[in-house]
Structure 1
Amino acid sequence: MKKILTASALALLIAGCAAAPTIDSVSAAAPLTLSVDGQSVLPKLHPFHSEELLYVPARALLEYYPGELKWDNAHKKLIFTTNSSRTVLSPGSSAIQVQYTQTDGAYEDKLEGPVLLKEGHVYVSSGAVDLLTGAVAKLAASGGTVNITSGDVSTSVRVPKEPLAIAAGSSGKVKLYAARKEGSTYKGFILEVNGGKHSFNWKSPRLVSYPPELHYADVDEDGKPEAIVILSLGTGTGISQEEVHVVKPEVWKEIAVPAAEKAASAAVSSQISLDSGDVVVRLELAGSTPSKVALRLPGRAGDGGLDYFGKQAGIGAVTYYKVANGKLKAETSLSVGMLESMGRLMLDYKRGGTGLILDSIKFEPHDTTEQYVEKE
Structure 2
Amino acid sequence: MKKSIFISVMIVFILNTLFSSAIPQNRKIITLKNNNACYSKSAKLDRKNQEDNTNADTTPKIIASIPEEKIYLYALNEQDGWYKGIVLSINGVNKFFDWKAVTFPGWNTLHYLDLNNDNKKELVVMLTQNKGTGMFRNTVHIINPENFSEYKVKDALDIVYDNIDIRILSKKEMEIMINDTIYNAKILKSTRPSEIEKTFFHNFIEYYIEDNKLKAKVGIEVQFLSYIGNIIIDYEFKDDEFKIDKIAFEGNPKVTVTTLQVK
Same fold (TM over 0.5): yes
- Residues 1:164 and 2:63 aligned together: yes
Q: Give the partner amino acid of 2:140.
A: V
State the partner residue of 1:309.
197
State the partner residue of 2:11.
none
Are the counterparts in 2 of residues 346 and 361 from structure 1 also a CA contact under 8 Å? yes
Are the counterparts in 2 of residues 220 and 355 from structure 1 also a CA contact under 8 Å? no
Residue 67 (structure 1) shift: 5.5
State the partner residue of 2:257.
373
> What's the CA shift string for 1:216-236, capped at 9, x where partnerless?
112122332211111111223
Kindly, what percent of the aligned residue pairs are identical? 23
1:118-137 alignment to 2 at 5 Å?
Answer: 133=54
TM-score normalised to structure 1 length: 0.51
Question: Residues of 1 paired with 2:60 and 2:207: CA distance?
Answer: 26
Are the counterparts in 2 of residues 261 and 332 from structure 1 also a CA contact under 8 Å? yes
Question: Residues of 1 paired with 2:157 and 2:245: CA distance?
Answer: 14
Are the counterparts in 1 of residues 113 and 121 from structure 2 also a CA contact under 8 Å? yes
State the partner residue of 1:260.
156
- Residues 1:328 and 2:225 aligned together: no
Residue 36 (structure 1) shift: 8.7
Question: Residues of 2 paired with 1:340 and 1:236: CA distance?
Answer: 13
State the partner residue of 2:181.
291
Question: Residues of 2 paired with 1:280 and 1:183: CA distance?
Answer: 41
Residue 155 (structure 1) shift: 4.0
- Say which of 155, 161, 167 aligns to 1:271: 167
Are the counterparts in 1 of residues 82 and 103 from structure 2 also a CA contact under 8 Å? yes
Residue 201 (structure 1) shift: 0.9
Unaligned runs of 5+ in 1: 1-34, 41-64, 69-79, 88-97, 99-131, 134-152
State the partner residue of 1:184.
81
Secondary structure class of the residue paired with 1:223: coil
- Residues 1:281 and 2:171 aligned together: no
**Higher CA-based Rg:** 1
Secondary structure class of the residue paired with 1:171: helix
Question: Residues of 2 paired with 1:325 and 1:189: CA distance?
Answer: 28
- Say which of 145, 151, 159 aligns to 1:249: 145
RMSD, matched Cα:
3.5
- Say which of 230, 236, 250 aligns to 1:350: 236
Secondary structure class of the residue paired with 2:72: strand
Unaligned runs of 5+ in 2: 1-16, 23-41
Larger RCO (alpha carbons 8 Å, 6+ apart): 2
Question: Residues of 2 paired with 1:304 and 1:364: CA distance?
Answer: 18
User: Of Structure 1 and Structure 2, which has the larger fraction of its residues in helix?
Assistant: 2
Are the counterparts in 2 of residues 217 and 227 from structure 1 also a CA contact under 8 Å? yes
> CA, structure 1 residues 67+375, in 2 after alignment: closer, same or farther (shift >3 Å)?
closer
Question: Residues of 1 paired with 2:211 and 2:194: CA distance?
Answer: 44
- Runs of 4 or more, structure 1, over 4 Å off, are 35-38, 65-68
Are the counterparts in 2 of residues 350 and 356 from structure 1 also a CA contact under 8 Å? yes
Are the counterparts in 2 of residues 174 and 216 from structure 1 also a CA contact under 8 Å? no
TM-score normalised to structure 2 length: 0.70
Residue 268 (structure 1) shift: 1.5
Secondary structure class of the residue paired with 1:315: coil
Secondary structure class of the residue paired with 1:255: strand
Q: Give the partner amino acid of 2:186.
A: R
> What's the CA shift string for 1:125-181, capped at 9, x where partnerless?
xxxxxxx94xxxxxxxxxxxxxxxxxxx3341x544xx32123xx723222111333
